[in-house]
């Protein structure tokens, strides 16, 4: 039963399957050489959310006693932090799709949507394209919110 579920997840994900893994219906695939080290709540709290916050921050403004402060990147270091956050987010989406975390085909779809948006954020950050990053930041927020609603996560 577990093997059939894993095959279903990989098929739904339309991931490239290495040649050493038998095609669906041709036998049991060897166990994956990777796995989850922390539970999903910890992964979200310590990996995905901090990386997403870096991307989301470009739309931010802080108002304090000294006035209004735009949080968009201004220096090379600011841009490098944004590139790093977007790259981390893009790569972390792969960890959402490992068999120990992938719940069902909808989960894979949300992870792939997140991966595409995070990749756009990464490329925009590399190009110092603030407008595109702001647009994809809103898209990331929508993907995360939809997934959290679907799985009942607050």
What does the pLDDT read at residue 83? 97
The structural domains of the chain, with segments of one domain joined by +, span 37-150
What DSSP letter does each residue of 21-51 carry, written as one string? SPPTTSSPPPPPS---SS-HHHHIIIIIHHH
- CATH fold of 37-150: 1.20.120
Provide the mean pLDDT of the chain: 84
Residue that the structure tokens 């894979």 belong to: 108
% the chain with pLDDT above 90:
66
**For residue 25, what pLDDT band results from cuts at 50, 70 and 90?**
low
pLDDT tens-digit series, residues 41-75: 999 999 999 999 999 998 888 899 999 988 899 99
Q: Are the CB atoms for 60 and 71 separated by under 8 Å?
A: yes
pLDDT in tens, 67-108: 998 889 999 999 999 999 999 999 999 999 998 899 999 999
């Amino acid at each position: 039963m577990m093997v059939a579920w894993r095959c279903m997840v990989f098929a739904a994900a339309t991931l490239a399957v290495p040649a050493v893994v038998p095609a669906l219906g041709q036998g049991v695939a060897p166990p994956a050489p990777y796995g989850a080290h922390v539970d999903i709540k910890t992964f979200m709290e310590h990996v995905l959310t901090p990386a997403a916050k870096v991307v989301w921050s470009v739309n931010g403004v802080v108002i304090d006693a000294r006035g209004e402060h735009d949080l968009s990147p201004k220096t090379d270091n600011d841009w490098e932090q944004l590139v790093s956050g977007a790259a981390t987010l893009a790569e972390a989406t792969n960890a959402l799709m490992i068999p120990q975390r992938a719940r069902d085909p909808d989960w894979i779809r949300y992870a792939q949507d997140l991966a595409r948006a995070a990749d756009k954020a990464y490329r925009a950050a590399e190009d110092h394209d603030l407008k595109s990053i702001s647009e994809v930041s809103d898209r990331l927020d929508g993907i995360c919110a939809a997934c959290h609603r679907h799985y009942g996560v607050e």
